[in-house]
Structure 1
Amino acid sequence: MDTTIAYESKNLIDAEQVAAYLLENPDFFSKFPQLIENITIPHAHKGSVSLVELQGEKLRKKVRSLSQKLNQLTFIAKQNEVIYRVYTELNLRILKCTNLDDLKFILEEVIQENLQLSSVILKPFKGAHALPEIQRRLFIEKRFKRHKFFFGRLSDHERRLLFADQEANSVALLLIGDLGELGILAIGSKDPGHFNPDMDTLLITQLQQFLGVLLPKMLTA
């Protein structure tokens, strides 16, 4: 074997070795700045561009992406603040209610107008407008197996039982009472994805607790 060829083959550097060296020495191009402008990289739309141009373009894309994420977070924070204020006002107003009709009116007015939701139904389990026992069992056995709330979509039959002809493409259902013995608050949205199992429950379960305190007094009055 030719000793010259053997020597050269031992000293060949492949692309992986170059890449590994540059990763281990990130300041390489600061030591050899003259190389940066001479290196060209194929670009799908611009032909060949310099390393500086490519790095600049990537940096601009990263800044745009971060800016979009920041705007999204700001928008969500503003939405959450609005929702928090609506629920705070609602809880204060229902505390002043003295009868079931007033309570239903306040729930409908605040939730439908301020949160732009399509329907609000309060179905007590006792009294003249009580939900029939067979329907009560249907919802408790099907929708409240693990929790005293349900977020998502109902079957057409279930939706008609609670909402009649009102729109409710996704719903929030809350059992009222420590044992869920007082009634159901049903809130409907036109948006099929508005209420979903992954949504935060803090504010709506606070409303559930307020109603659990108020309803017993109204149902026995």
Structure 2
Amino acid sequence: MESNSPKNDGLPSESEVARYLRNHPGFFLNNEDLLTELKITHKTGKAVSLLERQVEVLRERNMDMRGRISSMLDNAQRNDMLFDRSKSLILSLIEARRAEEFSNTLCRYLVSDFDDIDYASLILFADPKRVGGNSLRVVNPEQAQQQIGSLLRSKKAVCGVLRAEELSFLFGKHADHIGSAALMPIEPGSIDGVIAIASKDPQHFKSSMGTLFLEYIAEVVNRTLPKLMKGPFI
């Protein structure tokens, strides 16, 4: 630990030297001859000149800054792309005239326009005898609870590797080709159900990934699909 007590040799302390150099960053520009005498040791034990070390530090900082800027630009580009594709999806859903058309449009856009989504499904929980259509999938709430009740319990998005019976319920004949999946419950209100998307890649959908997009789509479905439903939705 460095002592703050005055030194008896009349020389400035290390902290005073450091403070002076910090306040006079151009000191070595006017005293270049000193650079040949100053040495600093790496952890490897090899000595290099202060100028070389300074250049190395600046190069490392520059590379780190470039990496951060590149990452920010990549994220900005991905966000722009996600916004454009989300806008196209929402506009197409608004234009749907029937519930079956709405469901088909949603699943088709999710698979064709969004990277790494290989399968998508929309399942509504109601009495199939009262609600349904040729391509609108409706199942009894009791059946949904029996098959995927553990996934719906939190009422939040779930991402990761699902069990075989869960994949079979959500994606039918495609279940054997799925590596990972994500689902978002449609909060009971106007309608009740779930949106599910899947990838062939087991590592794509993870529990740590963000789910804001799925939450947004589920809210859109809950606000727009009921207007296309025929009869009471129970």
TM (norm. structure 1) is 0.77
Map of 1:211 onto structure 2: 221
Partner amino acid for 2:18? L
Map of 2:92 onto structure 1: 93
Structure 1 pair 193/26, CA: closer, same or farther in 2 (3 Å)? farther
Aligned residues: 209
- Distance in 1 (CA, whole Å) between partners of 2:143 and 2:190 is 14
Structure 1 pair 40/85, CA: closer, same or farther in 2 (3 Å)? same
Identical pairs, percent: 22
Map of 2:52 onto structure 1: 53
Range with greater deviation from structure 2 (81-90 or 24-33): 24-33
Structure 1 pair 22/197, CA: closer, same or farther in 2 (3 Å)? farther
Map of 1:156 onto structure 2: 164
Map of 2:104 onto structure 1: 105
Range with greater deviation from structure 2 (158-167 or 27-36): 27-36
Structure 1 pair 25/40, CA: closer, same or farther in 2 (3 Å)? same
Range with greater deviation from structure 2 (32-41 or 89-98): 32-41
- Report how far residue 39 of structure 1 moved: 1.3
Structure 1 pair 108/36, CA: closer, same or farther in 2 (3 Å)? same
In the TM superposition, what whole-angstrom CA distance separates every residue of 1:197-219 from its partner, at most 9, and x where no partner exists? 44444433222122112333444
Range with greater deviation from structure 2 (41-50 or 190-199): 41-50
- Which runs of structure 2 are paired with 1:71-82 in the superposition (5 Å)? 71-82=70-81
Range with greater deviation from structure 2 (41-50 or 80-89): 41-50
TM (norm. structure 2) is 0.74
In the TM superposition, what whole-angstrom CA distance separates every residue of 1:19-56 from its partner, at most 9, and x where no partner exists? x4443333478178332221133457895421011101
Map of 1:144 onto structure 2: 152
- Report how far residue 148 of structure 1 moved: 4.0
- Distance in 1 (CA, whole Å) between partners of 2:156 and 2:10 is 70
- Report how far residue 157 of structure 1 moved: 2.1
- Report how far residue 162 of structure 1 moved: 1.0
Structure 1: gaps of 5 or more residues: 1-9
Structure 1 pair 176/186, CA: closer, same or farther in 2 (3 Å)? same
Range with greater deviation from structure 2 (62-71 or 108-117): 108-117
Structure 1 pair 138/130, CA: closer, same or farther in 2 (3 Å)? same
- Distance in 2 (CA, whole Å) between partners of 1:79 and 1:198 is 18
- Report how far residue 77 of structure 1 moved: 1.0
- 1:173 aligns to what SS in structure 2? strand
Aligned residues: CA RMSD: 3.1
